[in-house]
Amino acid sequence: MELFSAAFFSALLAVIIINLVLSGDNAIVIGMAARNLPKEQQKKVILWGTLGAIVVRALATVAVVWLLLIPGLMLIGGLLLIWIAYKLLTDDNKHDVKAAHSVMAAVQTVIIADAVMGIDNVLAIAGAAHGSYLLVVLGLLFSVPIVIWGSTLFIKLLNRYPAIIYIGASVLAWTAAKMIAGEKLLKDYFANPFLEWGLVIGIVTGVLLAGKVKQSKQSKQKQVVSS
């Protein structure tokens, strides 16, 4: 990918959007781990917990970018990403994180919990970066300040404007399709751009429709339970 080309900036935008949409968990984990601490100590947990989690996530993403060069893994990663995009639309995002009673314990809890729950984020960013370590670093640099200071605000925006989730799911599905089409074992099949874009449109549309149908079923079930 040529540096500072249209493809470079579109991939960078995809990395940033994925980072933001999938980093809501980070804010939830921090809040739950630090809820028993005084406000001054909570600020330390937010800073060090988030920075520690991002360092671990960055190292894991770089490793996954390298692993995706192995034939067959782009296809597997793309299929997993389709499932992640679908789950983004249908999950209630319930987490059970124990509250810590010291700054160090809370920071450790944040880093460990984020590492476990951040697998989807790592895979998505690695796929969107198209093998570029520079895109991974730039995407994280752009996203870090927003995740640290604006994650709570971003969660409120998600609750107020549910369409943001659909944008995030679309970007994930688009990234998944590009990963599948870019798989070395399948590259000959998708050499025709019409077939590649047909795959992209089919996967994005399929994920959004499946997510919408699942959401409708979930809302009906909630109405039945509440009535």
**Residues 189/195, Cβ–Cβ less than 8 Å:** yes
Question: What domain count does the chain have?
Answer: 1
Sequence-distant (6+) residues with CB within 8 A of 88 are: 21, 22, 165, 168, 169, 172, 211
Query: Is the pLDDT score of 207 beyond 60?
Result: yes
In terms of residue numbers, what domain contains 36?
Answer: 6-218
pLDDT band at 201 (very low <50, low <70, confident <90, very high): very high
Distance CA 203, CA 82 (A): 8
Q: Could you tell me if residue 88 is inside a domain?
A: yes
Q: Could you tell me if residue 60 is inside a domain?
A: yes
Q: Could you tell me if residue 225 is inside a domain?
A: no
Query: Is the pLDDT score of 75 beyond 80?
Result: yes
Determine the Cα angle at 101 with ends 42 and 140, to 5°.
45
Distance CA 199, CA 46 (A): 41
Q: Could you tell me if residue 150 is inside a domain?
A: yes
Q: Could you tell me if residue 226 is inside a domain?
A: no
Q: Could you tell me if residue 208 is inside a domain?
A: yes
Q: Comparing 55 with 117, which gets the higher pLDDT?
A: 55
Q: Could you tell me if residue 92 is inside a domain?
A: yes
pLDDT band at 203 (very low <50, low <70, confident <90, very high): very high
Which range (85-94, 150-159, 180-189) has the least confidence?
150-159
What is the arithmetic mean of pLDDT over 151-156?
Answer: 59
Look up residue 134 and give its two tokens: 């520079």
**Size of the chain in residues:** 227
Q: Could you tell me if residue 223 is inside a domain?
A: no
pTM for the full model? Answer: 0.70
